[in-house]
Amino acid sequence: MPSKTPKPRAPSAAASPAPDRRQRVQAVETGMAVLKGLARLGGRATLTALAAHVQESPAKVHRYLASLIEQELVQQDAVTQQYYLGLQTLLLGVAAMRQADPIRLAEPALARLRESLEVTCFLAVMGNKGPTIVRFEEPGLPVTLNVRVGSVMPLLWSATGRVFLAQLDEPAVLARARAELDAAQPEQRALLDSADPIGTLRRAVRSAGCATVRDTNLKGISAVAAPVADYTGRTCAVLTALGATGGFDASADGPIAAAVRREARAISTLLGHQADAPASDGA
């Protein structure tokens, strides 16, 4: 009796995805690349500029834009013919911003600083009485301090306050700084530029990307602080690391300052800030 030729087996369901499924995944990836490219170009761009940015042909990008317009993720200006982010994209952004809480988003950064550098660190926001600590982390062998969550830091004498002073062009902040300067002791004033103490301090902090202090706020304590920016670029919080002056490198170009700046940028990125990170901090 002749043997039967075995029938070929059907592909297993566990095998690689079917071609149409792969195509759908690739289509979604390309669509998201077009949408993100439009966002990175400021939310508005011509077809030519967008195609060049995502490195695809204008014809291909145009097809994806048509689909995104159908879903109200993109719109087109009838006059300039430029494409811009649509209503549904705006609603997605609003939903994301509602979750963008700097205090919550800073927790991993604070933990990394505490564990990698073994230093005390905290996050502060600008309150109605001044820079106020809202999250505080200590290493296994904490430094004895009289500051905790809720403590208000001075603008001129703390690294935290100096960052807020440098970054916020607000009348109330500048007025508070002038009041601190008027009440300063002679030895405190001697630490500042005599001709333009507040202006010089602000420029120095902006130039360094961080503020450093040694024994100016608390005797025996040094600190480094860097700004945390939201999606508008406004400083909404300040990340600070501190320790005993004898064993704490508070130089603006030292490893602690580099780590604080790097972690502050990481929080800022999670808040929607898109500034490029300097290569010097290893980011």
Q: What is the pLDDT of residue 157?
A: 94
149-176 pLDDT per residue, tens? 889 999 999 999 999 999 999 999 999 9
- Name every residue whose Cβ is closer than 8 Å to that of residue 162 and which is 6 or more positions away in sequence: 155, 156, 201, 205, 211, 213, 225
Q: What is the pLDDT of residue 277?
A: 46
End-to-end CA distance of the chain: 74
Q: What is the pLDDT of residue 283?
A: 44
Q: What is the pLDDT of residue 113?
A: 93
pLDDT in 10s for each residue of the chain, 283 residues: 455 555 555 555 445 555 577 777 788 888 899 998 998 888 899 999 999 999 999 999 999 999 999 989 999 999 999 999 988 888 887 676 666 678 888 999 999 999 999 888 999 999 888 999 999 888 876 666 777 888 999 999 999 999 999 999 999 999 999 999 999 888 888 888 888 999 999 999 999 999 999 988 888 889 999 999 998 899 999 999 998 888 899 999 999 999 999 999 999 999 888 876 454 565 4
Q: Does the pTM exceed 0.75?
A: no
Strand 83-85: give its sheet, edge to edge: 44-45, 83-85, 74-76
Q: Are 124 and 131 in contact (CB under 8 A)?
A: yes
Q: Which domains does the chain have, with CATH numbers?
A: 26-96 (1.10.10.10), 102-271 (3.30.450.40)
